[in-house]
Amino acid sequence: MNPRYERWRWITFGVTWLIYATFYFTRQAFGVAKVALSDDSRVSLTRSDLGWIDSAFLITYMLGQFVFGPLGDRFGPRRILLFGIALSVIAAVASGFCTTFLAFIVFGVLQGVAQSSGWSNVNKTMSSWFSLRERGRVIGWWCTHYTVGAAVALPFAGWMMNLFGTPGTDAEGQARVIPYWPAAFWGCAAVVGVVGVIAWFLLRSQPEDLGLPPIEEYHGEPKTLLEEEVEEGEIAPEGSWKLVGDVLASPTIWMLASSYFFIKLTRYSFIFWGTMFVAEAVKSDAFTSALIAAAMQVGGVVGVVGCGYVSDKVFQSRRAPAAVLSLLAAAAIMCAGLWEINDPYIMAGFFFLVGVFLFGPDSVISATASMDFGTKRGAGTATGIVNGIGSIGGILGGILPAKLTTGGNWTVLFAVLLIGLTISACLLAPLWRTKPPTA
């Protein structure tokens, strides 16, 4: 064991974890801020407007996945990630000054571009530092970034809004704090900026950048078939556009992507509208609503780690079985949303269970399986394709809740999510016995 190699492996683990965890701060700031926008006389946005702003973000986020994944394979993920971090901070700071629908759209689009640089490139980095045999367990723990990040970001944004809020009264004349919504954007931007400085000094794209051998050589593992074919001249090397085409031609990648569409539809419905759902159902303030909604992310930690471990140990690196079973459980839990929930503790339990059974298959499909079947050389492209197609579902997760919950009735939305998760499990089922290609 090489101490220097091991040290840099875990530095990479930590830095990429921080990068993606804090991306959720600037990503979720608007979802929390929208609870208080109606208190600002300068802002006049309808419920439909809020949905279109979410969708504008998600459309560019989706399109960016198809661009930044291949760019990460070609130019290295470090450059792409640092660009994305800087743009995310700028867009979040500017959003705090917005008062019109058009301004929110413009900076939502820029935030979408910034965020789309993240997932495929942190995955690309991790695939270069951790080998096939350990990915299920390691990536399971690593994927807690977006559950922990979102769990902390939601109440943090709500707390910032209350911290800088002003005394006022509600519709019944009761004293309350009127949240200062720009603080959600500015506080979250500051957190991402600090992590950007850390990444500038400590992030390295691959072991070779430090004069270290590739991870497969270090572990003495067989190369994937794709990598052997590169050495034999059968396919183009890493970073080439021909390799992008080879990944695009993989039926497995497209099956993963199709399943992920419905997962992301559900997850983004909760991300962008969960806090408002809680506020309307429980009649709670911005901070309390965000705190209850964050229970989903806490449950997600359990689901991500558990699903990764089970896929490695129980199903011998087969990713589909654990994902399919979790998706069916998540679909069953959506049934609870068909009835009114007005108790804060029951609501928190509902969000927790959604996180447990939704985030496990989310991480397995979008990260571990995409790395496995895209291989180290095409990991950026593979995760970009899977997450890009998934983000089309995410776009619907921004606009559908606005359209289906008019009047405060959320029943139809939960029925749609139940059906979608069931379809997702069915799409993934043909991969039940499929394992990553190895020599």
Task: Kindly state the tokens that stand for 271.
Answer: 């991300």
Distance, CA of 163 to CA of 431 (rounded, Å): 49
Q: Is residue 436 part of a domain?
A: no
pLDDT at 246 over 70: no
286-293 and 295-313 are packed helices; what angle lies between their axes, rounded to 10 degrees?
10
Q: Is residue 183 part of a domain?
A: yes
CB 341 within 8 A of CB 350: yes
171 by DSSP, 3-state: which? Answer: coil
Q: Is residue 438 part of a domain?
A: no
Distance, CA of 6 to CA of 9 (rounded, Å): 5
In terms of pLDDT, which residue wins out, 134 or 337? 337
- 361-412: per-residue pLDDT in tens? 988 787 655 555 545 555 566 777 787 788 788 888 888 898 888 777 889 9
Angle formed at CA 357 by CA 356 and CA 363, multiple of 5 degrees:
90
Q: How many CB atoms lie within 10 A of CB 438?
A: 16
- 161-204: per-residue pLDDT in tens? 999 988 876 666 677 778 899 999 999 999 999 999 999 999 99
In terms of pLDDT, which residue wins out, 160 or 171? 160
- 337-367: per-residue pLDDT in tens? 888 888 999 999 999 999 999 998 988 787 6
Burial pattern 221-251, b for ≥16 Cβ within 10 A else e, equals: bebbebbeebeeeebbebbbeebbebbeebe
Q: How many CB atoms lie within 10 A of CB 307?
A: 28
Residue with tokens 């006049």: 44
- How many domains does the chain divide into? 1
Within its chain, how far is the Cα of 360 from the centroid? 12
pLDDT of residue 195: 98
Q: Is residue 60 part of a domain?
A: yes
Q: Is residue 316 part of a domain?
A: yes
Full domain range(s) for residue 86? 3-431
- Report the candidate in 291, 299, 35, 286 with the shortest Cα–Cα distance to residue 155: 291
pLDDT of residue 125: 92
pLDDT of residue 439: 33
In CATH, what number is assigned to the domain containing residue 141? 1.20.1250.20
- Report the candidate in 64, 109, 147 with the shortest Cα–Cα distance to residue 383: 64
Distance, CA of 223 to CA of 135 (rounded, Å): 15
H, E, C per residue of 281-315: HHCCCHHHHHHHHCHHHHHHHHHHHHHHHHHHHCC
pLDDT at 157 over 80: yes
Residue with tokens 């994902």: 323
Q: Is residue 439 part of a domain?
A: no
Percent of the chain predicted with pLDDT > 90: 41
- 15-37: per-residue pLDDT in tens? 999 999 999 999 999 988 988 88
